[in-house]
Structure 1
Amino acid sequence: MKKFGLFLIGAVASIILLSQIGPLLGLVISAVILYFAFKQYVKATSTTGKIGWGIAGIIMLVITASNLPAIIGLAAVYVLYLVYKKWNNNKKQSIISKNSSDDPFQNFEKQWSELNK
């Protein structure tokens, strides 16, 4: 039942991520151009260069702000990561529980070999 819940949450997060791919790409591209415009603004020595890069930066800031709904897509990516991590964690725990034994003699042998090292 736990796996079904994880699968359901993962499916919903995948659908949300797929619906937000366009805004995510727009956000990334506009943020990169905004960063480039800021770096050029700082490097510019002339007043006209600073004004030009400042205007370009403001335009890119507005474009970046228009893509802010893409944060929902980023949250979906994070949820998918958590589901993936939890799904694999359950597999490791089941393997560990199958390998561990309650036999006192096997546990004694393990502890004795660790003490002799």
Structure 2
Amino acid sequence: MKKFGLLIAGGIAAIVLLSNLGPLLALGLSIVLLYFVFKQFLKTDSLLMKIGWGFIGFIALMASASNLPAIIGIVAAYVLYLVYKKWNQTKTEVKVEENDPFTNFEKQWAEFKKN
């Protein structure tokens, strides 16, 4: 039953991610452009060029802000990652030996702390 729930959650997350693929690409492109404009703004010494790069940077910032619904796609990608991680998780059973001194020490330490 747990695998079925993970399958449903993964399917929904995959559909949401695919539907937001366009805004995700546009957000990535506008952030790369904004980074390039910022680097050029820092390199230039001319006041007129700084104003020009600042204007272009403002336009790139507005393009990034218009793609904020792409954050839903990022969340969907994260949910897909969590589903993948849980799907491949195996149960590990630890066999405790009664003669193990460390296990006995932990039990005795817990009893000592209770008193």
- TM-score band by shorter chain is 0.7 to 0.9
In the alignment, which residue of structure 2 is the partner of 1:50?
50
Q: Distance in 2 between matches of 1:67 and 1:40?
A: 23
Letter in 2 for 1:68: L
In the alignment, which residue of structure 1 is the partner of 2:10?
10
Runs of 4+ that moved beyond 2 A: none
Q: Distance in 2 between matches of 1:60 and 1:101?
A: 59
3-state SS, counterpart of residue 88 of structure 2: helix
In the alignment, which residue of structure 2 is the partner of 1:115?
none
- The residue correspondences of 1:18-97 to structure 2 (distance < 5 A) are 18-89=18-89, 92-93=90-91, 96-97=92-93
Query: Over the residues paired in the alignment, what is the CA RMSD in angstroms?
Result: 1.6
Any unmatched runs of 5+ in structure 2? Answer: 101-115
Q: Distance in 2 between matches of 1:22 and 1:49?
A: 32
Q: Distance in 1 between matches of 2:36 and 2:66?
A: 18
Q: Percent identity?
A: 56
Q: Which structure has more helix as a fraction of its residues? A: 1
Q: Distance in 1 between matches of 2:68 and 2:42?
A: 25
Q: Distance in 2 between matches of 1:101 and 1:35?
A: 54
Task: State the number of aligned residues.
Answer: 100
